[in-house]
Amino acid sequence: MTAATTPTGGWPVAIAGLGARLPDRVVTNDDLAEVLDTSDEWIRTRTGIRERHVAAPEEATSDLATAAARDALRDAGLAATDLAAVIVATTSPDHQVAATAPLVASALGVTAPAFDLNAACSGFVYALRVASGMVATGDGAVLVIGAETLTRIADPEDRSTAVLFGDGAGAVVLVPDDDARLGPFSLGADGEGASMLWTPSGGTRRPFDAEVLADRSHYLSMRGGDVYRNAVVRMADSAREVLAQAGLEVADVDLLVGHQANVRILDAVAARLGLPTELSHISVDRHGNTSAASIPLALADARAQGKLRDGATVLLAAFGAGLTWGACLLTWKDR
Ligand code: UT7
C-alpha cells in the first residue's frame, strides 16, 4: 500500500470557489429504452441512475470545463488572471493531442500553465492532490476541473455501458488558507487491472484503422462485475486510510462524496465504513457516471441541497480505470 504523501492533517488549502456545468439535454432511461434493449427498471435497480445529461453535438469537454471554471471563479470572486495554474482531469479530452487544459485556459483568457491529468474516474482526487501541493508550496490559486464527454467514447450500441455514462464538468478554485485543510490523501494504482475498463484500441498500442472501426474496439469496454468489486474495496480502504492518517473516526465524517458510478457501490462503501447511507451524497441518479467530473458535480449538488455547512468534514473517495483509486478529506469553509 502507498505510503502517506501529505502531512497528517493535510495541506493549509481551501476551496474558494465551486462551479458546475451540466449540458442542457437530459436523456432518461425510457429514452434509452427506445433505442436499446434495456429498461428503466433494469437501469434503476442495477445502478440507481434515472437520467443523465448529454452534450450537444457542438459541445466538447473543453466547453463544459470552461463553463464550470467560469462558475467556480465567479463563486470565488477571483479573475482568471489570478490563477497560477489550470488542471483538467479528464479521460475524454477534446483531442488526443493537444491537451484540453490549455484550451480552457485560453478560453478564460490566460496563459497560465495548463495541463491534463488522466486518472479516469479518480482524476479529480488525483488532481486535488497535485494542486494542493502546488498551492501549499507557494504557487497561488490553482483551478482544478473534472470534465468529461463520456457519451462520445461509450458505444451507443452497447447496452452494458451506454446506459451508465453522462457528460458534465465541475470545478474548484484552491487557495492558500491557514485555517483550512485539504488532505491527507491516499492514492493508488494497479495497471495489471487496466483491461477491466479501457478503450482497447485507438491509442498507440493498437492504432485506429478500418479493422478497429469494424470491431468497435475504439469504444469503452468494461467487465462491470470485476470493476464493481474492486471499486467497493479500494474506495473503502483508501477512505479508512485517510481517516487513520488524520487521526479521525468514521463518526467524525459529516458527508461522504464518493465517485458517482452506481448507488449500490456507494451504499456498499458506506456499509463497509459503518457510515449511515444518509451521509453519503447521491447525484448519480440524475447525472449518471461522469467519471472525473462526478465528484465536483456531486459537491456542487450537495451544496445546492444545503449539505455543506461551514466547518464540515467531507470525505472524498474514487475508483476508476487504470485501475486507479484515491480518497482525501477536506474541511468545507463558507466564504
Ligand atoms: O466509473 C468507473 C467505475 N465504474 C463502475 O464502478 C461500474 C461498476 N459496475 C457496475 O456498476 C455494474 O457491474 C453494472 C451496472 C455495470 C452491471 O450490473 P451487474 O449487476 O454487474 O450486471 P451484469 O453485468 O452481471 O449483467 C446482468 C445481466 C446480463 O444478462 P445475463 O447474462 O444475466 O443474461 C447482461 O447482459 O444484465 C444484462 N444487461 C442488461 N440488461 C438490460 C447488461 N446491461 C443491460 C442493460 N439493460 N442496460
Q: Does domain 183-331 have CATH number 1.10.10.10?
A: no
Q: Tell me the pTM.
A: 0.96
Each residue's pLDDT tens digit, 73-105:
999 999 999 999 999 999 999 999 999 999 999
239, 257 contact by CB (below 8 A):
no
Instruction: Provide the percentage of residues in the chain whose pLDDT is more than 70.
Output: 98
For the CA of 47, the closest atom of ligand 1 is: 15
Does residue 224's CB lie within 6 angstroms of at least one atom of ligand 1? yes
197, 120 contact by CB (below 8 A):
yes
Q: Whose CA is nearest to atom 28 of ligand 1?
A: 160
Q: From ligand 1's centre to the CA of 161, what distance in Å?
A: 8
Alpha-carbon distances of 293 from 19, 68, 158, rounded to whole Å: 11, 10, 22
Domains 13-179 and 183-331 share a fold: yes
Which of the listed residues 27, 36, 46, 223 should we mutate to test ligand 1's pocket, taking the one with most ligand atoms within 8 A of CB?
Answer: 46
Provide φ and ψ at 243, rounded to 5°: -65, -45
Our separate counts of H helices and E strands in the chain read 11, 13
The pLDDT of residue 276 is above 60: yes
Does residue 234's CB lie within 6 angstroms of at least one atom of ligand 1? no
* DSSP character string of 181-218: -EEEEEEEE-GGGGGGEE--SSSSSS---HHHHHHTTT
Q: From ligand 1's centre to the CA of 163, what distance in Å?
A: 10
245, 5 contact by CB (below 8 A):
no
Which of 260, 306, 302 is closest to 124 using CA atoms?
260
- The structural domains of the chain, with segments of one domain joined by +, span 13-179, 183-331
Local structure of 300: helix, strand or coil: helix
Q: What ranges make up the beta strands (E) of the chain? A: 13-21, 25-28, 51-54, 83-89, 114-117, 141-149, 167-176, 182-189, 197-198, 221-222, 255-258, 313-320, 324-331
Task: Give residue 3's pLDDT.
Answer: 46
CATH number (3.40.50.300, 3.40.50.261, 3.40.47.10, 3.30.1230.10) of 13-179 reads 3.40.47.10
Instruction: Provide the percentage of residues in the chain whose pLDDT is more than 90.
Output: 96
Per-residue DSSP letter, 37:
S
Residue in the structure block whose three cell numbers are 497560465? 112
Q: Which one is catalytic: 121, 230, 262, 328?
A: 121
Task: Give residue 2's pLDDT.
Answer: 47
259 is annotated as an active-site residue: yes
Q: From ligand 1's centre to the CA of 195, what distance in Å?
A: 17
Task: Give residue 7's pLDDT.
Answer: 59
Which of the listed residues 228, 233, 325 should we mutate to test ligand 1's pocket, taking the one with most ligand atoms within 8 A of CB?
Answer: 228
The pLDDT of residue 313 is above 50: yes
